[in-house]
Amino acid sequence: MSSGLEIKENTKSLRSRNRVTGLVMSAIGAFVIYEALSYNLGTAARMGPGFLPLGLGILIIVFGVLVAVVNDDGDEAAVGIVWRPVVLVLSALLAFALLIEPAGLMAATAALVFISGHADPSHTWRSLTGLFLFLLISVYLVFGIALSIPFKLVPGVI
């Protein structure tokens, strides 16, 4: 019996894939740093809008170099992408983004949890419902009550 998570073997070595991935990550980090430098950096005590992106760009480059350089023996086959979880999680994020304004937090969170929950076949409706309720209550308490950020749970009602 299959667990639903299938691993696809690829003939490319893990070492060559890691080098390419590290190079791409480093290029993205360099671009983030380039863009961050167009904003005011400020100081460590009074950070400007470019300070955080600069730090993140540096971290992305560091992780890119680590991915490219630090490697085991590299002889094992690289694992291919299993598309079902990727598509479901990205679809869930898109659904959340499209629903948060017109349908409110409750519907958007439900879409996020129940769509992305199907990326892992071990989740049941019961576990997803529990996760949905936990997230809904947590987000409402933290952002709605503690931080006083205005949003609607259900538009026109709450």
pLDDT in tens, 58-93: 999 999 998 888 765 555 555 677 889 999 999 999
pTM tops 0.75, yes or no: no
HSE-CB of 156 using CA atoms within 13 angstroms: 2
pLDDT of res. 147 = 87
Pairwise CA distance, residues 108 & 114, whole Å: 10
Of 111, 105, 70, the C-alpha closest to 90 is 111
